[in-house]
Structure 1
Amino acid sequence: MPEVVLVTGVSDFVGAHLAGRLAAEPGVRRVVGVDTVAPSRELARRMGGAEFVRADIRHPLISRVLADSGADTVVHAGSAPEGTTLARSSATETRVLGTMRLLASCQNSARVRKLVLRSTTAVYGSDPRDPAVFTEDTAPRDPPSSGAAGNAVDVEGHVRGFARRRPDVDVTVLRFADLVGPRIDSALTRYFAAPVVPTVLGWDACLQLLHPEDALAVLRRAVLEDHPGVFNVGASGVLTLGQAVRRAGRLGVPVPGALASSLAGMLAGGGERVRPPDLGRVADTTRLRRCFGFTPRWTTRQAFDDFVHGRGLRPLVAPEWIEAAEREVDRAMARIG
């Protein structure tokens, strides 16, 4: 049981809620949340008994914050934040350079014995030639080198280097599928909230999603229990991109891949954006179920529906039309099978 936990990225939904839940654990004496900006009033309330320290993990001051906190466990939840107001260059600097500075501070701390990294299944990339399902040991054919996915690849590389230098520290890497939920504000949720959703002509990507409550449950167990290693974390089942668009009641417009990315960027506004050609990957979660003994409560479809209903999206297409169409598709697939 950790005594003192330091959590990065507490101005985002996951970081703030995780800090609050850890602070409520009887065996945890202190939780310190770190971010460059203060959490909103609602997120600050969710942090409960956790303390907030305004600090930039890119700055050497983070070493002082880590030492003064006396943390024996560090949760780097800010490496893949769901908030997307950062410009691309700023996001890269915060994630990659910030991670390097944080890891250097952990390496110099004699008290740190556990590191938990919130990563993403986007490190596998998305290529039509890829396998249908990725395991933790699958080497991507064409790993992403730019954007948020490229940042995640770089961050994981630095974490592996830290693990080699500090073999006495338990390192857990959690590769989360894309989070969707009523209170998740991300490039993906804004993409599906747009009235017109550009999709890639001739390709209906398979989406594996994750409800934030399941993400928080896995993070909590990674902190309170010892599960070193790399783990895929995703809900059971998949939705095709077309099914997701219809369930959200949006109007899907198939266009060539490059144009789809441009249109998605225009609809999403500033900050980081969804690139429709990069959507579509499914990760195997056998290792998570075996080692953690954990199965997500929400399926991919349930998580997406909770996002749609919770955000109060008004459908442009009648829901009964969608349900009737999906029933016909299911019957057709059953006859083919």
Structure 2
Amino acid sequence: MARAAVLGAGSWGTAFAKVLADAGTDVTLWARRAEVAEAISTGHVNPFYLDGIELPPTLAATSDPERALDGADIVVLAVPSQSLRENLAAWTPLIGSDSSLLSLAKGIESGTLLRMSEVISEVTGADPSRVAVLSGPNLAREIAAGQPAATVVACTDEARAVEIQKSCATGYFRPYTNVDVVGCEIGGACKNVIALACGMASGLGLGENTNASIITRGLAEMIRLGVALGANPATLAGLAGVGDLVATCSSPLSRNRTFGTHLAQGGTLASAQAATRGQVAEGVKSCTSVRALAQRSGVEMPLTEAVHKVCHEGLSVREAVGLLLGRRIKPE
């Protein structure tokens, strides 16, 4: 069985490290703060991000990246998308020359408009065939509690995808493999933006018809962008697309949905951040980079445009809804 290092001890990084440990993989979790690593190592809990979840005694934790990465065959990158480049630059000298690099981050890098796999290859110099992504309806707390879930491990090198698949397959966590890295990453980035829109609608008191409409039209935007960038539309109709979209748009555990709800109820970006207990709502920054990527690709994404205007241009949520409802009617 492979040895894994998970870099990032937030809720999803911790939950995925637990999955790896439960699958029998030798795994070390790196935490930026020493007190987080200490709590995991000695108390087998992460009270900062997954309070109340018991972690396996076999899960080691450290605040020393060199110790975490020593001998790792699979390097799991579980830091927010916009901080990945900076962190990865420091870690690159410690990563093995043939290690598989697995991204859990979901976003498009601001400025460069690169997908996370592209950032990883650019910073580390790793061939793209060494870079994999994981995406699916994976709400961290539910998975950490052992509730059944499925996911997609995408890598252009099928053998690496299978190696990662074996390292994280448990009785409650079922990974599927795919070679469509682009589709999985576009699905993961776009769903956070659409979840913000669903949260905004919920915050206005709108119901399930509205939520379903936003999810469906958001999926159409996601597919248009994905196909323009070379994705297989079937990927976006699966776990990494519609599956992840439904979970993130519908669950109160979704940080992006919660963030959007708070904004609609009159909150600011700062207070919405506090409402998500300081955890990153990736869609807040990704809405701008996804919008720019769509514009560069000649793809129309009105929901994404509206979310960007609310988050970064001062448009009220009610005005955004009015803009969307006032759009020209046409065939679906």
The TM-score bracket by the shorter chain reads 0.3 to 0.5
Higher helix share: 2
Higher RCO, Cα 8 Å, sep 6+ = 1
TM-score, normalising length from structure 1?
0.46
Higher strand share: 1
TM-score, normalising length from structure 2?
0.46
Structure with higher Rg: it is 1
